[in-house]
């Protein structure tokens, strides 16, 4: 946002339309979205907009943006941690199938053993 603002201001300066620092600060504060209104109000009340440098305003806004992003990331991580996965259970009796599989495995091994004895 600041890069676009600077480009516009520089273009206007080339057209002989110059803004004071306080006018630029006020324009930036006015263009911020409604979600930033508490921060805008805090800046307006805590600082003198006539003497506030544009760089200081930019630093304050960037700090606020990083704080918001960190809070969003923490909330996202909390949601991921709270996510619970449940599996469906089935109640089929597979003991017969297991014993058949075990018997087949034993028979195969016994056949291999006999084959080794026969050729060995």
pLDDT band at 119 (very low <50, low <70, confident <90, very high): low
Domain membership flag for residue 96: no
Q: Do 61 and 39 touch, CB atoms closer than 8 A?
A: yes
Q: What is the mean pLDDT of residues 84-90?
A: 67
DSSP 32: S
Domain membership flag for residue 58: yes
pTM score over 0.85: no
What is the residue whose two structure tokens read 């089935």?
90
Q: What is the mean pLDDT of residues 17-29?
A: 91
Domain membership flag for residue 8: yes
Q: At what angle do helices 21-31 and 2-14 cross, to 10 degrees?
A: 140
Provide the number of structural domains found in the chain: 1
Domain membership flag for residue 9: yes
Structural domain of 76: 1-84
Domain membership flag for residue 78: yes
Domain membership flag for residue 6: yes
d(CA 10, CA 26): 17
């Amino acid at each position: 946002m600041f890069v676009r603002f600077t480009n516009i201001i520089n273009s206007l300066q080339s057209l002989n339309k110059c803004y004071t620092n306080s006018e630029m600060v006020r324009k930036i504060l006015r263009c911020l979205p409604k979600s930033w209104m508490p921060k805008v109000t805090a800046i307006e009340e805590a600082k003198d907009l006539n003497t506030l440098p544009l760089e200081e305003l930019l630093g304050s806004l960037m700090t606020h943006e990083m704080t918001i992003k960190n809070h969003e990331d923490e909330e996202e991580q909390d949601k991921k941690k709270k996510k619970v996965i449940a599996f469906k259970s089935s109640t089929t009796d597979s003991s017969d199938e297991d014993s058949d599989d075990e018997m087949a495995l034993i028979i195969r091994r016994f056949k291999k053993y006999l084959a080794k004895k026969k050729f060995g």
